[in-house]
Amino acid sequence: MHSNHTVISVSNGSAGSKGRSRFEGYLSDTLTGLINKKLHKELFLRIFSYLDIVSLCRCAQVSRTWNVLALDGSNWQSVNLFSFQKDVKTSVIQSLSRRCGGFLKCLNLEGCEGIEDDALRTFSNECRNIEELVLKDCRKITNKTCIFLSDSASRLTTLSIESCVEISDRGLSHIGKGCSKLQNLNISWCQSLTSASLCDIANGCPLLKMLIARGCVKISDEGILAIAQKCSDLRKLVVQGCNAITDNSIKLIAEQCKDLDFLSISDCDLLSDQSLRYLGLGCHKLRILEAARCSLFTDNGFSALAVGCHELQRLDLDECVLISDHTLHSLSLNCPHIETLTLSYCEQITDEGIRYISGGPCAIEHLKIIELDNCPLITDASLQHLMNCQMLKRIELYDCNNITKAGIRILKSRLPNIHVQAYFAPITPPVTTGDRQRRICRCCSLF
């Protein structure tokens, strides 16, 4: 397989002898010429449009004609360089940009840590029709790249600068000013960003539908309130680990963003049951809620949520230590579409709660995954209840000390396609003397 650098550095002229020799066993000059005469240029371009960049490179080395056609910009509208991240340097992106020009619409540079601002300067100047750009883990780029994009990428709809730690409020402010069509933005782990940058995004990008801001610890209510007020079409919001936001942010999100269907508020320590009540009142289209390690949430909050959010499909309550069977009772009565339910480390959950879920409308047709790690009160009786869940594909039971291998075998006999992940502490062997054969314990059992 050629490196990406080889792909981009193919010239307009004839292929080098080294590259061409790879094909001499398959296509002679005469045969290649015959194919070129029989097939129209448009058909060649159509065929090449289905090839990945490595295949295009190889085709470009067959002949002069194929070189021109394979490297035609129309074949390079979407380029994903993630698999070649170690080979991608600034010069590669500059060459690619000049080759693709206005044809390039989607570019993924995830993990290309060798990329610097100069590469994005050339890219912005040459590829002004770019719509989707992924710069995740391109740690050398700075605010300069944001300025280049602001000046030239007016059609940009999707941007990921996840883990681009050198980008600050100043850079994101330029994105807000110049990229008014932006709909999807990922700024996760850009820990120098504050609410000021979100205010600029909200003012300049009213079409925003997705905002992912994991680990942006300096973002507070001010930034979330601005997004809620100006971007009412928001569908997905991820603020996991933004532990400065409070119930006030969730209140305005619930009031203004009626189409919200994905919300991640995991590790937001200041949120209380009031946030869940706001969501139940305002976000009736909510399908996915990630609320792991929100230690203030209780049964009362989740009961209010369930009453208003009947479309819930995935619910992550990992380490919501205050909830009990009452939460599962409310979910079983009001949320008939649940497919994935995470209850790990919810230590108050008992067999009765599992009975509620297993007897609810979601059990027979929808529930596919349930995670019960470290729920010490559940027993084999829970497995008996879960036999009603005909669609169940996976159950996690690590450190559930009252679950037995016999109970799991019975569950497997009723649901033969289920994948059970369980842990059984090794039995301490008795003290022995002599040269008896050493016992081998199997700590982890995967069924």
pLDDT at 380 over 90: yes
Q: What number is the average pLDDT over the span 320-346?
A: 97
Q: Would you state the pLDDT for residue 348?
A: 97
Whether the per-residue pLDDT at 97 is higher than 60: the answer is yes
pLDDT score of 216 = 97
pLDDT of residue 36: 60
Residue 8, pLDDT > 70, answer no
Task: Give the distance, in angstroms, between the CA of residue 7 and the centroid of all CA atoms in the same chain.
Answer: 28
> What pLDDT score does 14 carry?
39
| pLDDT of 49 higher than 60 | yes
Q: Which of 213, 131, 207, 137 is CA-nearest to residue 172?
A: 213
Segment 11-15 mean pLDDT: 39
Token reading at 379: 């027993």
Q: What is the CATH number of domain 246-424?
A: 3.80.10.10
HSE at residue 257, side-chain half, CA atoms within 13 A, is 32
CB of 311 within 8 A of CB of 284? yes
Q: Which of these ranges, 8-22, 80-94, 108-122, has the smallest mean pLDDT? A: 8-22
Across the range 50-56, mean pLDDT stands at 72
Residue 338 has pLDDT above 60, yes or no: yes
Q: What is the pLDDT of residues 260-318, one digit of tens each?
A: 999 999 999 999 999 999 999 999 999 999 999 999 999 999 999 999 999 999 999 99
Q: Do domains 76-232 and 246-424 have the same CATH topology?
A: yes
Instruction: Report H helices in 283-366.
Output: 299-308, 325-334, 351-359, 361-365
Element holding 338 (H helix, E strand): none
On the question of pLDDT at 227 being above 80, the answer is yes
Question: Is residue 35 very low, low, confident or very high in pLDDT (cuts 50, 70, 90)?
Answer: low
Are 265 and 250 in contact by the 8 Å Cβ rule? The answer is yes
Cβ(333)–Cβ(303) below 8 Å: no
Q: How much is the pLDDT for 17?
A: 40
Domain ranges for the chain: 40-75, 76-232, 246-424
- Residue 351 is encoded by which pair of tokens? 């067999």
Q: What is the mean pLDDT of the chain?
A: 87
pLDDT category of residue 447 using cuts at 50, 70 and 90: low
Q: Which fold has domain 76-232?
A: 3.80.10
* pLDDT on residue 99: 83
For 243, how many CA atoms within 13 A lie in the half-sphere containing its CB? 9
Q: Residue 55 and residue 186: Cα distance in Å, rounded?
A: 31
Percentage above 70 pLDDT, the chain: 84
pLDDT class for 364, splitting at 50, 70, 90?
A: confident
Q: What is the pLDDT of residue 362?
A: 87
Confidence band, pLDDT 50/70/90 cuts, at residue 433: low
What is the mean pLDDT of the segment spanning 369-397?
A: 96
Rounded CA gap, 214 and 162, in Å? 9
CA 302 to chain centroid, in Å, comes to 25
**Is the per-residue pLDDT at 440 higher than 50?**
no
For 181, other C-beta atoms within 10 Å of its C-beta total 15
| 286: Cα within 13 Å, side-chain hemisphere | 26
**Rounded Cα gap, residues 380 and 385, in angstroms:** 9
Which residues are CB-neighbours of 208 under 8 A, at least 6 positions away?
182, 183, 184, 185, 201, 202, 227, 231, 233, 234
Residue 423 has pLDDT above 50, yes or no: yes
